[in-house]
Amino acid sequence: MSDTELEFHRKIARECFNETWNYFDKKDRGEDDERQMLHLAHASRFHWSFVGKAENLAVGDWQISRVYASLNQPQLALHFAKSALGICRENNLSDILITVFEGMARAYATAKDYESARDFIKKAREQLDKTAGLDDEDKKIYSEQIHETEELIGK
């Protein structure tokens, strides 16, 4: 693949990933918005498959899981959350385990398996506490994600 093609895939992967978040944040999301959000998340992960590292692939699967959880599709949410966790474990990606554990908790909450969801929230909090080198902004983002998932669980 040429440098131009590689840069194209990187650019589209980033843009689709970021655009997906705009749909998460949209208050009055309709069916068309949800379809677009799903397509964007999958497109991002597809383009990362050409140029991304293991971390990009794990985060991509985590984002897809989050989309499926927001669409109340527990089987698919769990499928992609487990994929993200597997990528982390295979590649020793401890820096993003906070997010991936939160994603597992969210997926289990969507499946109404609250016991498993609580176990993964606990793991996410423990990982947040022991991950060194996080700046205040990252800690805030991770904490907000965990808190949001705790609300889904009804902690």
Largest pairwise CA distance in the chain: 50
Q: Is the pLDDT of residue 155 over 60?
A: no
pTM for the model stands at 0.92
Q: Is the pLDDT of residue 13 over 90?
A: yes
Report which of residues 1 and 18 the model is more confident about.
Answer: 18
Rounded to whole angstroms, how far apart are CA atoms 137 and 43?
A: 27
User: What is the CB-side half-sphere exposure of residue 133 using CA atoms within 13 A?
Assistant: 3
Q: Which of 78, 54, 55, 71 is nearest to 20 (CA)?
A: 71
Of 6-15, 104-113, 144-153, which gets the smallest average pLDDT?
144-153
- Residues 31-51 have a mean pLDDT of 97
- Helix or strand holding residue 140 (H, E): helix 136-153
Distant-in-sequence, close-in-space partners of 41: CB < 8 Å, separation ≥ 6: 16, 17, 20, 60, 63, 64, 66, 67
Rounded to whole angstroms, how far apart are CA atoms 47 and 64?
A: 13
Q: How many CB atoms lie within 10 A of CB 20?
A: 23
Of 74-78, 111-115, 148-152, which gets the smallest average pLDDT?
148-152
pLDDT at 133: 76
Tens digits of residue pLDDT in 53-71:
999 999 999 999 999 999 9
Q: What dihedral angle (degrees, nearest 10) is formed by the CA atoms of 76, 18, 141, 38?
A: -20
